[in-house]
Amino acid sequence: MNLSKPLLLAPMEGLLDFVLCDVLTRVGGVDRCVSEFIRVSGHLLTDKVFLRYLPELNNGGRTLAGVPVRAQLLGSDPVSMAENAALLATLGPEGIDLNFGCPAKTVNRHGGGAALLREPEQIAAVVAAVRRAVPAQLPVSAKMRLGYDDAGLARECAQAAEQGGACELVVHARTKADGYRPPAYWEQIPAIRAAVRIPVVANGEIWTLADALRCRSVSGCDALMLGRGMVADPGLALAIRAHDAKRQHEPLPWQTLLPQVARFWDLVCADLEPRQRAGRLKQWLNLLRRRYPEAQQAFDEVRVLTDQRAITAWVQRAADLVHQPGNIET
């Protein structure tokens, strides 16, 4: 890991799951991933549930490209969170991350995710319970937003996570009320950094290299967590790495990305339910349109397809183009 300027890959439910983590870490530049949140709601989960969200546990807690994956738990009851964290720890994750940022109404209605940002003392209780329940050498980190309706308790929430024993804090620089609407308020992160002694990672609206550099400058955070920006531009982490190393960097060509699109489709077909498969490919192509003009045509062609065999044939034709004369080999 580049300890001076780490780049983390964000979890995003239904988008940045283990399938896309596998593909994006193959492209390169990412130091660590975080799993989709595993919801804890009063009972002890089974190994099977943990492995469904985090199949990387079968590979030493790493993606097939060798990038460590931290398991994320979401819940509000300290006892239940601690019991599940203890069980999860026996399966060998790289660490455990605690979600205090999810803005989903169904999650918040039951007191989880961003709802806890109204109760700093409960954040401290949850973190402390998990920290006590797992081996001392296992990292326990947390992710939060600036607040629920406003950022009035941001520093108190960050301090609560630190007091509970969190070793690192990711700050998504929006409130729950902001959802995912731009902008991200990076300028509010320095006050949080000043309030704690643990590393703080900036997250939110980092779509380009220029965004990453501005975020570092405004937030004061060298460490960044990349989310939709990395999905839309899988070469984003490599571009940031090249800048940091003062190297020239050529953007990742569409032809180079096509084999990864093919791998993504193979994994989707192997690991996800049939009803999810077509939508997942269309979802990724839709985001790729922000970075690649070629993705627009691909999206238009795939959008009308519903049959898995037809989509597989399209993916194969697209991948075959890479090996035609004049195209880039991968």
Helix 308-321 with 274-288: angle, nearest 10 deg = 40
DSSP designation for 252: P
DSSP designation for 280: H
CB 123 within 8 A of CB 160: yes
Task: Give the active site residue among 21, 102, 157, 221.
Answer: 102
14 Ramachandran zone, left/alpha/beta (phi>0; psi -120 to 50): left
| Amino acid found at 317 | R
- What is the spatial distance between Cα 203 and Cα 259, in angstroms, rounded to a whole number? 29
**DSSP per-residue codes, 99-115:** EE----HHHHHTT-GGG
DSSP designation for 35: E
- What is the spatial distance between Cα 31 and Cα 27, in angstroms, rounded to a whole number? 12
Active site residue 221: no
CB 1 within 8 A of CB 245: no
Question: How many C-beta atoms surround the C-beta of residue 245 within 10 A?
Answer: 10
Helix (H, G, I), strand (E, B) or coil at 229: helix
Residue 264 Cα distances to 16, 220, 317, angstroms: 12, 35, 15
Residues acting as catalytic residues: 102
